[in-house]
């Protein structure tokens, strides 16, 4: 038998050698050399990073950086900043070390292309709220007596601007010093700013609108190439500038104005002009330039109204264009003429306000509605508005709201106290307004009538308005006055006894041609400032911003009335 024989070929068990491409060899070499290079270049930073990656994760990288101050920085600043920086340490290791030269970080007051702003202190020029000075020129600061609260600025102001300053030990001392003389000027930081002083324009710029309205102390930093810029943010937070950065997005502006009665001779002017917004031609834009604009409207809109004389007022519905052209957000209804043609027209006018998105207070559709507190929130500031008709409460007129009658909110001391307590619990700022009894400022002839710039003695206007502050109000405003009345600080608040006319027809006397617009500024729940803007109206019945001469006369008369 034939057998098939298979011969199995031997297996070659010899393995071929691995070969590496030039790319792989370069990569391996790089991975080997990179740690050595990092160790040489970065030193402790690299070893700290390795410890963090391969070791326990509770390791904190906390390096020390050297800081140098150049000769442009006053010695008082150097010492103050050094004290702050040298106090920063972790487990005995300092974050910053002050050196005389060749430091990681160089600080200077001279900006260049490679530097970053690291500190800015702003010194705001202020006078007392009663001061008649409106603004100053930086180059003429030596003409004033200048007061500051931080001795570190004294040397800087002398060296940079060549004027002397006196250091006071408290803000209260500063306010008292400013009240003594209008030639006394303060330079304060934003954190010290409040309603007891008024911001003065600096070279015609107001700090409330632009930071250039302040004296700015700026410092810049440059770092060595190997130092990460992140350390500048650490440095910036610990150099102790003003203590608080002014965030303008938290600022709220509220414009408040006086009597609005679009009736009688003013109605005739509107009709002849063919412009329903006629009286707002000059001031409409100024009033609108606020987060909230308030007016006190005393006259309801009545279809078919033709009243051009007398003491019973109405307004044609189309005259509401005056309010929209003035940017009105809030209508005060404490006036005593809104029911002259019947409460039904007061009610229909209120409904029209609602349609236009306007809010109201101090009056309403009935007693309950009229007594409501109006709350407005603007840029984080919650503001309460409460208004009362004092005059008609005393005389028990039908201008007041009833159970089923539109009208003004009635007044009592008990009601005032309760309302302010409620408002205080729900708002940062409480504003109280009064329709008080008017001073009859109508002398024989067009002459100044000083008595009506003062608060009334009978009834006791000062006593009623001050009681609102005693109960916790921040600002009290009289919106009844056809002639402006004086204003004053009282305890922690401020009182404006009367704002005069805004839109009305009383052009026969200088007192009723004058007016005031208040611009309140609130910041982070604090009453920061109130700007007082004088207005003036002539025979055309179009109120406008007062000229410098007209404004100075009014402010001087209000000062004399306060004294």
351-367 pLDDT, tens digit each: 999 999 999 999 999 99
Neighbours of 210 (CB within 10 A): 12
Q: What is the pLDDT of residue 2?
A: 47
Mean pLDDT of 231-246: 70
Long-range contacts of 515-518 (CB under 8 A, 24+ apart): 515/257, 515/258, 515/484, 515/543, 516/257, 516/258, 516/484, 516/554, 517/255, 517/256, 517/257, 517/283, 517/286, 517/287, 518/255, 518/256, 518/257, 518/477
Round to whole Å and give the CA distance between 40 and 220: 31
Q: What region does 501 belong to: left with phi over 0, alpha with psi -120 to 50, or beta?
A: beta
Structure-derived torsion over alpha carbons of residues 259, 261, 267, 269, reported in degrees to the nearest 10: 0
In which band, very low, low, confident or very high, does the pLDDT at 401 lie, cut at 50, 70 and 90? very high
Mean pLDDT of 140-162: 93
Q: What is the pLDDT of residue 231?
A: 82
Q: Where in the chain is the domain with CATH 3.60.21.10?
A: 249-562
Residue 377 has pLDDT above 50, yes or no: yes
Round to whole Å and give the CA distance between 160 and 73: 11
Residues 453-464 as b or e (16 or more Cβ within 10 Å = b): bbbbeeeebeeb
Mean pLDDT of 457-465: 97
In which band, very low, low, confident or very high, does the pLDDT at 433 lie, cut at 50, 70 and 90? very high
Three-state secondary-structure class, residue 114 = coil
38 exposure class (CB count in 10 Å sphere: 0-12, 13-18, 19+): middle
- Least trusted range by pLDDT, from 91-100, 268-277, 372-381, 486-495: 91-100
The fold of 65-245 is D-Maltodextrin-Binding Protein; domain 2 (3.40.190)
Q: What is the pLDDT of residue 46?
A: 63
Contact 56, 48 (CB under 8 A): no
Which of 334, 348, 268 is CA-nearest to residue 301?
A: 348
Q: What is the pLDDT of residue 554?
A: 98
Please tell me the number of Cα atoms within 13 Å of 82 on its side-chain side: 14
Q: What is the pLDDT of residue 245?
A: 73
> H or E segment at 252?
strand 251-260
Q: For all residues of the chain together, what is the average pLDDT?
A: 90
Residue 242 has pLDDT above 50, yes or no: no
> How big, in percent rounded to 5, are the helix, strand and coil portions of the chain?
35, 25, 40
pTM of the model: 0.85
Per-residue pLDDT tens for 5-32? 444 455 454 444 555 567 677 777 777 7
Q: CA of 278: how far to CAs of 287, 442, 454, 537, in Å?
A: 15, 26, 32, 13
User: φ, ψ for residue 537 (rounded to 5)?
Assistant: -125, 140
Residue 563 has pLDDT above 90, yes or no: no
- β-pair type (374-378, 514-523): unpaired
Q: What is the pLDDT of residue 39?
A: 66
Q: Where in the chain is the domain with CATH 3.40.190.10?
A: 65-245
Mean pLDDT of 487-506: 98
Contact 412, 399 (CB under 8 A): no
Q: What is the pLDDT of residue 487?
A: 98
Mean pLDDT of 37-50: 65
In which band, very low, low, confident or very high, does the pLDDT at 88 lie, cut at 50, 70 and 90? confident
In which band, very low, low, confident or very high, does the pLDDT at 237 lie, cut at 50, 70 and 90? confident
Residue 530 has pLDDT above 90, yes or no: yes
Which of 519, 520, 446 is CA-nearest to residue 483?
A: 446
Residue 130 has pLDDT above 60, yes or no: yes
Contact 78, 109 (CB under 8 A): no
- Least trusted range by pLDDT, from 55-59, 417-421, 505-509: 55-59
Let me know if domain 249-562 sits in CATH 3.60.21.10: yes
Per-residue pLDDT tens for 166-218? 999 999 999 999 999 999 999 999 999 999 999 999 999 999 999 999 999 88
Structure-derived torsion over alpha carbons of residues 439, 440, 445, 448, reported in degrees to the nearest 10: 0
Q: What is the pLDDT of residue 113?
A: 81
Round to whole Å and give the CA distance between 86 and 66: 11
């Amino acid at each position: 038998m034939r057998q098939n024989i298979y011969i199995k070929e031997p297996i070659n068990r010899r393995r071929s050698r691995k070969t590496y491409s030039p790319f792989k060899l370069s990569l391996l070499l790089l991975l080997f050399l990179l740690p050595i290079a990092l160790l040489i270049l970065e030193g402790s930073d690299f070893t700290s990073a390795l410890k963090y990656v391969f070791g326990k994760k509770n390791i904190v990288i906390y390096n020390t950086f050297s800081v140098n101050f150049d000769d442009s920085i006053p010695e008082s600043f150097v010492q103050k900043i050094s004290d702050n920086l040298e106090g920063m340490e972790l487990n005995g290791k300092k974050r910053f070390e002050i050196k005389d030269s060749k430091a990681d970080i160089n600080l200077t007051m001279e900006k260049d292309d490679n530097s970053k702003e690291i500190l800015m202190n702003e010194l705001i020029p202020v006078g007392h709220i009663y001061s008649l000075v409106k603004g100053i020129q930086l180059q003429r600061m030596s003409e004033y007596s200048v007061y500051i609260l931080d001795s570190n600025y004294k040397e800087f102001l002398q060296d940079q601007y060549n004027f002397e300053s006196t250091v006071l030990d408290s803000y209260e001392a500063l306010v008292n010093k400013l009240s003594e003389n209008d030639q006394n000027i303060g330079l304060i930081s934003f954190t010290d700013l409040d309603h007891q002083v008024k911001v003065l324009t600096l070279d015609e710029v107001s700090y409330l609108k632009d930071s250039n309205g302040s004296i700015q102390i700026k410092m810049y930093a440059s770092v060595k190439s190997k130092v990460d810029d992140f350390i500048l943010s650490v440095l910036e937070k610990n150099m102790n500038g003003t203590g608080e950065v002014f965030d303008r997005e938290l600022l709220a502006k509220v414009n408040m104005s006086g009597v609005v009665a679009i009736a009688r001779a003013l109605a005739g002017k509107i009709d002849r002009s063919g412009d329903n917004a006629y009286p707002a031609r000059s001031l409409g834009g100024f009033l609108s330039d606020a987060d909230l604009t308030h007016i006190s409207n005393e006259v309801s809109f009545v279809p078919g109204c033709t009243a051009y004389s007398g003491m019973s007022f109405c307004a044609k519905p189309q005259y509401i264009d005056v309010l929209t052209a003035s940017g009105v957000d809030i209508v005060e209804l404490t006036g005593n003429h809104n029911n002259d043609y019947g409460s039904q027209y007061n009610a229909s006018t209120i409904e029209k306000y609602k349609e236009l998105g306007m809010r109201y207070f101090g009056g309403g559709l009935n007693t309950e509605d009229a007594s409501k507190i109006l709350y407005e929130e603007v840029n984080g500031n919650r503001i309460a508005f409460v208004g009362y008709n004092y005059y008609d409460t005393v005389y028990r007129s039908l201008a007041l709201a009833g159970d089923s009658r539109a009208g003004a909110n009635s007044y009592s001391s008990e009601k005032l106290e309760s309302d302010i307590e409620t408002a205080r619990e729900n708002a940062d700022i409480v504003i109280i307004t009064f329709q008080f009894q008017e001073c009859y400022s109508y002398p024989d002839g067009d002459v100044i009538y000083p008595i009506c710039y003062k608060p009334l003695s009978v009834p006791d206007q000062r006593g009623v308005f001050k009681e609102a502050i005693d109960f916790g109000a921040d600002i009290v405003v009289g919106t009844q006055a056809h002639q402006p009345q004086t204003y004053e600080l009282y305890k922690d608040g401020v009182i404006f006894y009367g704002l005069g006319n805004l839109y009305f027809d009383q052009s026969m006397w200088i007192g009723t041609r004058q007016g005031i617009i208040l611009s309140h500024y609130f910041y982070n729940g604090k009453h920061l400032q109130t700007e007082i803007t004088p207005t003036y109206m002539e025979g055309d019945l179009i109120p406008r911003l007062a000229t410098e001469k007209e404004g100075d006369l009014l402010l001087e008369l209000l000062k004399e009335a306060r004294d």
